[in-house]
Amino acid sequence: MRRTRTGVGMLTAAAVVVLVAGCGTERADEAAEGGSAPAGTATPSAPVDFRCPGEDPAPQESSPASASVPAGAPTDHYAENHGFRVPFPLHGRSRCDGLAAVTRIEKALEPLRKRGDFSPAHARKALMGLGYGPGAVETHQGGATAVGFLIYAGVSPLLCVEGTMDRADTEADAFGGYPDHPSCDRPSGGH
């Protein structure tokens, strides 16, 4: 019996030595590369954007999603505390889908704008004519001669289009929702 306990104790001690020896070690090739991830490990990558069909060669985005964050963080942490209100930008195929949706929406609302029809009900009907369901389209009066709209254009991934139509123009921007908020409407509370 005594011999078994000693064998188990030695086996346990050997296992601990092997495990401890493997922790915190760095291979020479990793150190030379600056500590790259081991093979088979997922590493975060920068989103890939490319020119979408119909887009100008040098696109300049004007969506709220592409608005840059100020370089220096304010001392009162305003930017940090209101980060939940900054929409996610779209990248890759989702970005192209968003640009296509914006183009369709602006074209659908343009006849109303030219007629001076700023009725939220008429704007909603025009947007639903694009195939968006009743629960996907929100419109509201934005003054005597303006209509605001929000469209839930896609679910996976989330694709939102927000904009206004007024006497001067129809503008829409696509984005991918908000942090900590599984919807297209702007969150009103923070964390």
Kindly report whether the peptide bond that precedes residue 89 is cis, defined as omega within 30 degrees of 0: no
Read off the pTM: 0.64
Q: What is the CA radius of gyration of the chain?
A: 27
Cα torsion through 74, 77, 78, 83, rounded to 10: 110
Query: What are 62-93's pLDDT values in tens digits?
Result: 444 444 444 454 556 776 777 777 888 999 99
Q: Which of 155, 163, 188, 173 is nearest to 84 (CA)?
A: 188
At residue 122, what is the residue type?
A: H
Query: What are 109-141's pLDDT values in tens digits?
Result: 999 999 999 999 999 999 999 999 989 999 999
Tell me the three-class secondary structure of 19-66, residue by residue: HHHHCCCCCHHHHHHCCCCCCCCCCCCCCCCCCCCCCCCCCCCCCHHH
Mean of the per-residue pLDDT values for the chain?
74
